[in-house]
């Protein structure tokens, strides 16, 4: 079975701090792609960052970075120096290489940044 699990339904942190959101996945495929997307208050779904399973180095884009722990099937999203506008719902997704580029989605984590 292929599955993506986000156990944190909601996280609240103070502005300018660092937050980590958890995501674990299940797949029998040896090659896969992992994604994090953000859904804003307006409903827009925006791509943030991606990790390819064969890459050992953690991906980083701006103030987003990933903590990829392949033996634990885990891909955490780290946001440093959080801002009010980071408040959103964050989704983790996986695409096994032989899935014809289908995305399997987690249920999302709501992030609230407090001033």
Partner 1 sequence: EAAVTQSPRNKVAVTGGKVTLSCNQTNNHNNMYWYRQDTGHGLRLIHYSYGAGSTEKGDIPDGYKASRPSQENFSLILELATPSQTSVYFCASGDAFDRGNTEVFFGKGTRLTVV
112 and 47 Cβ atoms separated by less than 8 Å: no
Judged by CB under 8 A, the residue of 45, 81, 84, 112 near partner 1 is 45
DSSP for 51-88, written as a single string: EETT--SPPEETTEEEEEEGGGTEEEEEE-S--GGG-E
DSSP 113: E
Determine the interface stretch with partner 1 among 11-19, 21-29, 77-85, 101-109 (rule: CB under 8 A).
101-109
Nearer to partner 1, 65 or 95 (CB): 95
Nearer to partner 1, 19 or 49 (CB): 49
CB of 5 to partner 1, least distance (A): 11
Nearer to partner 1, 13 or 103 (CB): 103
Judged by CB under 8 A, the residue of 44, 56, 57, 115 near partner 1 is 44
Determine the interface stretch with partner 1 among 22-30, 34-42, 69-77, 78-86 (rule: CB under 8 A).
34-42
Instruction: Give the Cα separation of 10 and 62 in Å (integer).
Output: 23
Burial 31-49 (b: 16+ CB within 10 A, else e): ebbbbbbbeeeeeeeeebb
Binding-site ranges for partner 1 (CB under 8 A)? 31, 33, 35, 37, 42-47, 50, 52, 91, 95, 97, 100-103, 105-108
């Amino acid at each position: 079975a292929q599955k993506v699990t986000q156990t944190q339904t909601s996280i609240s942190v103070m502005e300018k701090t660092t937050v980590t959101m958890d995501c674990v996945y299940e797949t029998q495929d040896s090659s896969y792609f992992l994604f994090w997307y953000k859904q804003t208050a307006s409903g827009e779904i925006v791509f943030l960052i991606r990790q390819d399973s064969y890459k050992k180095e953690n991906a980083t884009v701006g103030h987003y970075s990933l903590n990829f722990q392949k033996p634990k099937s885990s891909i955490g999203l780290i946001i440093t120096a959080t801002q009010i506008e980071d408040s959103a719902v964050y989704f983790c997704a996986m695409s096994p290489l032989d899935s014809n580029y289908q995305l399997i989605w987690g249920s999302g984590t709501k992030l609230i940044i407090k001033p």
